[in-house]
Structure 1
Amino acid sequence: MPRPTTAQITYGSVTVILSTLAMLLLSQTASGVGIAVIAMAALGLGLLVAMTVPLPKQPAAPAARTAPAAAPAPAPAGDRVPAQRSVLADSVREPAGP
């Protein structure tokens, strides 16, 4: 069972407190049974809010591991054209934008 996040605990607690105060003020009840019913309703509402808070995204399961493709063997130095050596040795730098 996953542990509740800080956001879930915070939202649930705030919901319980505010909904209890709002229902007690609106109902103007003074009986013990009425207060108990309101408290249970507020706890249920807080639990509902806490459980519906979006959970952080879990990292995607890694794809099936396959053997890496074999890199092509480099061409012998004698087979390369001289211009290719300079192109491969220099990195290409382009401006970021207009």
Structure 2
Amino acid sequence: MPRPTAAQVAYGSCTVILSTLAMLLLSRTSSGLGIVVITLAALALGLLVALTVPMPKARPAEPSGARTAEAGQVRAQARVQARMRARAHREPVPAGVEPVRGPTAP
């Protein structure tokens, strides 16, 4: 059985407290049997409210660590292959020629 959420506990507790107070004030009972009946009715009402509060929806399953690692390896391999293709398509630099650098400060 799933555990109650914080919202269910809060709604149920507030319902029990408020309905007990309301029924005791409206009925003006002072006998022990009347108080017990009102208390049991309030508990039943609080349980009903707590059970009717919508449960959170199930989250989709997280990918496993193996799948995440495989996806990372595939992305890393794709980056390496893209770099190799980019290097292969560059024009070769003739021997003895220095690469052009940005402006230098005087």
Task: Provide the aligned length of Structure 1 versus Structure 2.
Answer: 63
Q: TM-score, normalised by structure 2?
A: 0.56
Give the ranges of 4+ consecutive aligned residues of structure 1 lying more than 4 Å apart after TM superposition: none
Give 5+ residue unaligned stretches, structure 1. 62-98
Structure with the larger helix share: 2
Give the Cα separation in 1 of the matches to 2:9 and 2:59: 23
User: What is the deviation of 1:28?
Assistant: 0.1
Give the Cα separation in 2 of the matches to 1:60 and 1:37: 45
Q: Hey, what does 1:65 align to over in structure 2? A: none
Q: How do 1:1-98 residues align onto structure 2 when only pairs under 5 Å count? A: 1-60=1-60
Q: TM-score, normalised by structure 1?
A: 0.60
Give the Cα separation in 1 of the matches to 2:3 and 2:50: 12
Task: Give the % identical residues.
Answer: 74
Q: Larger Rg: 1 or 2?
A: 2
Q: Hey, what does 1:96 align to over in structure 2? A: none
Q: Give CA deviations for 1:33-78 in whole Å, capped at 9, x if unaligned.
A: 00000000000000000000001011357xxxxxxxxxxxxxxxxx
